[in-house]
């Protein structure tokens, strides 16, 4: 069953098209990471999911309800974190937990205090005295204590140093799997996403380039580097490569084809080479290879 179903989304800002006929699903109990360059529609998608923005066409459903018409019962099942912000910084971490708990029937303080113990902060420590990273973790703890079935986390890593990002990622993944939570998350720190997510969705301008389990994506999307035997030779890799970069006789290209298929294609095209190498990629490398560097 799907926690999120988006069907044929189309949205414009004035005459500028963000995307057209965009469709995707998020399975219950999965952590999906949305990746894309600035301006590709990540924030627009988050705002449509949360009902803050009405698409020009198409619809998004959360647990079968249109995001523009969510019932209070369904809204209670959703936790939303925007850029790790937390309000009421004059309170200490004990006061803010008690304050928020009064608004949620299903409040479960255990995840909040587990996270606070990992931060090694005292119950009387004021939010205003905390670092940006610590405040972000307080915000996360408050979201988890709401006990939502679906967490929508927008650019969760902004302002976090590597240690706090790792703390967030490890705790978030452990918690989500243990409690069968669904998570829709964006981040500009792509190497963090590789450790956290089950499925990846990569957006480009006006379209989705990939949506699949991250293991499948990393196993099937490949980078090859070749050195041409004739550095003046014209090279046609359009039939096999997703993206190509060439500097003189050096060619770097990305493909969903296997090494055997690539070598067969080069032979068929009569493209001679002195060296041939498959390059092991991180998720960030693959993201850049799929979307181009610029």
What does the domain layout of the chain look like in residue ranges? 2-216, 221-291
- Measured CA to CA, the distance from residue 185 to residue 155 in angstroms comes to 7
Pick the CATH number of 2-216 from 3.30.70.270, 3.30.70.3450, 1.10.3720.10, 3.40.50.300: 3.40.50.300
Helix axes 132-145, 110-119, angle to 10 degrees: 160
CB 116 within 8 A of CB 92: no
pLDDT higher for 164 or 23? 23
Q: Which of 190, 196, 187, 86 is nearest to 136 (CA)?
A: 86
pLDDT at 35: 94
**Mean pLDDT of the region 258-278:** 95
pLDDT at 82: 73
pLDDT at 237: 93
**Mean pLDDT of the region 197-201:** 97
Question: Is 260 a residue whose pLDDT tops 90?
Answer: yes
CB 208 within 8 A of CB 199: no
pLDDT at 83: 62
pLDDT at 30: 97
pLDDT higher for 85 or 278? 278
pLDDT tens-digit series, residues 223-250: 999 999 998 888 899 999 999 999 999 9
pLDDT at 23: 93
pLDDT at 133: 75
What residues contact residue 271 under an 8 Å CB cut-off, 6+ apart?
Answer: 228, 233, 235, 236
Give the long-range contacts of residues 41-44, CB within 8 A, separation 24 or more: 41/11, 41/203, 42/186, 42/203, 43/154, 44/11, 44/18, 44/19
Question: Is 55 a residue whose pLDDT tops 90?
Answer: yes
**Mean pLDDT of the region 280-293:** 92
Pairing of β 57-62 and β 182-186? unpaired
pLDDT at 166: 85
- Measured CA to CA, the distance from residue 200 to residue 33 in angstroms comes to 5
CB 106 within 8 A of CB 98: no
- Measured CA to CA, the distance from residue 68 to residue 50 in angstroms comes to 8
Question: Is 208 a residue whose pLDDT tops 80?
Answer: yes
Signed CA dihedral, 260, 215, 18, 293: sign only: negative
Share of the chain above pLDDT 70, in %: 97
- Measured CA to CA, the distance from residue 152 to residue 156 in angstroms comes to 10
What string of DSSP letters covers 65-129?
EETTS--HHHHTTEEEEETT----TTSBHHHHHHHHHTT-TT---HHHHHHHHHHT--TT-BGGG
Structure tokens given for 51: 């009902």
How does 179-206 read in b/e, with b if 16+ C-beta sit within 10 Å?
eebbbbbbbeebebbbebbbbbbbbbee
Structure tokens given for 1: 């069953």
C-alpha to C-alpha distances, 172 to 75, 215, 218, nearest whole angstrom: 21, 19, 22
Pick the CATH number of 221-291 from 3.30.70.100, 3.90.1170.50, 3.30.1740.10, 3.40.50.300: 3.30.70.100
CB 79 within 8 A of CB 152: yes
Question: Is 131 a residue whose pLDDT tops 60?
Answer: yes
| pLDDT class of 191 with cuts at 50, 70, 90 | confident
- Measured CA to CA, the distance from residue 90 to residue 129 in angstroms comes to 9
Give the least confident one: 14-28, 149-163, 196-210.
149-163
Instruction: Say if pTM beats, i.e. exceeds, 0.85.
Output: yes
**Mean pLDDT of the region 176-180:** 94
How does 251-284 read in b/e, with b if 16+ C-beta sit within 10 Å?
bbbbbebeeeebbebbeeeebebeeeeeeebebe
Question: Is 161 a residue whose pLDDT tops 80?
Answer: no
**Mean pLDDT of the region 101-111:** 92
| pLDDT class of 88 with cuts at 50, 70, 90 | confident
**Mean pLDDT of the region 53-75:** 95
| pLDDT class of 294 with cuts at 50, 70, 90 | low
pLDDT at 81: 83
Question: Is 85 a residue whose pLDDT tops 70?
Answer: no
| pLDDT class of 105 with cuts at 50, 70, 90 | confident
């Amino acid at each position: 069953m799907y926690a999120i179903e988006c069907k044929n989304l189309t949205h414009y800002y004035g005459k500028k098209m963000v995307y057209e006929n965009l469709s995707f699903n998020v399975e219950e109990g999965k952590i999906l990471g949305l990746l894309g360059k600035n301006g590709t529609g990540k924030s627009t998608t988050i705002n449509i999911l949360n009902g803050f923005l009405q698409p020009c066409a198409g619809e998004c459903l959360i647990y079968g309800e249109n995001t523009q018409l969510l019932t209070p019962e369904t809204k209670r099942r959703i936790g939303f974190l925007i850029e790790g912000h937390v309000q009421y910084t004059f309170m200490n971490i004990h006061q803010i937990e008690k304050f928020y708990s009064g608004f949620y029937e299903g409040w479960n303080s255990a995840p909040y205090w587990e996270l606070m113990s990992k931060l090694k902060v005292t119950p009387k420590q004021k939010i205003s005295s905390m670092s940006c990273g610590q405040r972000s973790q307080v915000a996360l703890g408050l979201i988890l204590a709401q006990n939502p079935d679906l967490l929508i986390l927008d650019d969760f890593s902004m302002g976090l140093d590597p240690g706090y990002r790792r703390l967030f990622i490890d705790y978030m993944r452990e918690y989500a799997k243990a409690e069968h939570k669904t998570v829709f998350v964006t981040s500009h720190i792509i190497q963090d996403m590789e450790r956290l997510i089950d499925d990846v969705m990569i957006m480009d301008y006006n379209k989705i380039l990939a949506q699949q389990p991250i293991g499948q994506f990393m196993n099937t999307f490949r980078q090859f580097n070749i050195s041409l035997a004739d550095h003046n030779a014209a090279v046609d890799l359009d039939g096999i490569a997703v993206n190509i970069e060439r500097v003189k006789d050096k060619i770097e290209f990305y493909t969903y084809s296997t090494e055997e298929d690539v070598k067969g294609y080069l032979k068929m095209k009569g493209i001679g080479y002195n060296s041939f190498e498959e390059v092991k990629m991180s998720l960030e490398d693959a993201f850049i290879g799929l979307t181009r560097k610029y």
